[in-house]
Chains A and B, each alone.
Chain A
Amino acid sequence: SQKIEQNSEALNIQEGKTATLTCNYTNYSPAYLQWYRQDPGRGPVFLLLIRENEKEKRKERLKVTFDTTLKQSLFHITASQPADSATYLCALMDTGRRALTFGSGTRLQVQP
């Protein structure tokens, strides 16, 4: 069966450290993968998109990698701040499909 797996346990890190979140998928052939941030009671906010032929994408303190062999994407936040505390969702667009499929998200807590 198809699965998108994100760590359901919250990730707690100290301010200033790099946070790394994982997204693994099974039985998908994604054309691209996206990462979103969601705050409690709010809609997700788009952060980054990475295509299947791209290995890495950066935006300010954010970095995403995409390994189609391992079927995994890693999302990094460098120099993390308490304001980065939120739930981060990965989403992928499967080949032949025309809407995103989302993972369940990982909650990040950055301690001051």
Chain B
Amino acid sequence: DGGITQSPKYLFRKEGQNVTLSCEQNLNHDAMYWYRQDPGQGLRLIYYSQIVNDFQKGDIAEGYSVSREKKESFPLTVTSAQKNPTAFYLCASSIGQNYGYTFGSGTRLTVV
């Protein structure tokens, strides 16, 4: 079955640590996205990528970094510069413009 897989489901980060969230898709989608969701709020765009080896900042990119070395993979690194990283992180992919997004099941990141 085709889909988009995020791992881990839960992640705990100590202050000052960098952590990387995995996102893998086997849908052959060109575009991939990272969103952050805080309780009771909508999704906010962190980074997105339309093609391999190219990505753009979203609305809240500060303190985050990404790479897109393979079509299937779009990992997100939450750096120590992100002051309030506790949130639910969602990865999505789409065939392209004018199509719905397929979302993963999310990673819940907590700073301890």
A residues with CB within 8 A of B: 4, 8, 31-32, 34, 36, 41-47, 49, 51, 89, 91, 93, 98-105
B103's partner among A4, A43, A93 (CB-CB below 8 A) is A43
Instruction: Indicate the member of B42, B58, B92 with the most A CB atoms within 10 Å.
Output: B42
B86 within 8 A of A: no
Whether A49 lies near B100 (C-beta < 8 A) is yes
- Complex Cα distance A99/B50, Å? 9
Interface residues of B in 47-104 (CB under 8 A from A): 48, 50, 56, 58, 90, 92, 97-104
B41 within 8 A of A: yes
Whether B97 lies near A102 (C-beta < 8 A) is no
On chain B, the residues within 8 Å of A101 by CB distance are 45
Which secondary structure characterizes the binding site on chain A?
strand
On chain B, the residues within 8 Å of A98 by CB distance are 48, 50, 56, 97
Instruction: Indicate the member of A4, A34, A41, A102 with the most B CB atoms within 10 Å.
Output: A102
B11 within 8 A of A: no
Closest-by-CB residue of A relative to B41 is A104
Closest-by-CB residue of B relative to A89 is B42
Closest-by-CB residue of A relative to B92 is A43
User: Would you mind naming 20 contact pairs between A and B with Cβ atoms under 8 Å apart?
Assistant: A32-B98, A34-B101, A42-B106, A43-B103, A43-B106, A44-B90, A44-B101, A45-B103, A46-B100, A46-B101, A47-B100, A89-B43, A93-B97, A98-B50, A99-B33, A99-B48, A100-B33, A100-B101, A102-B35, A105-B42
Whether A43 lies near B48 (C-beta < 8 A) is no
Whether B97 lies near A43 (C-beta < 8 A) is no
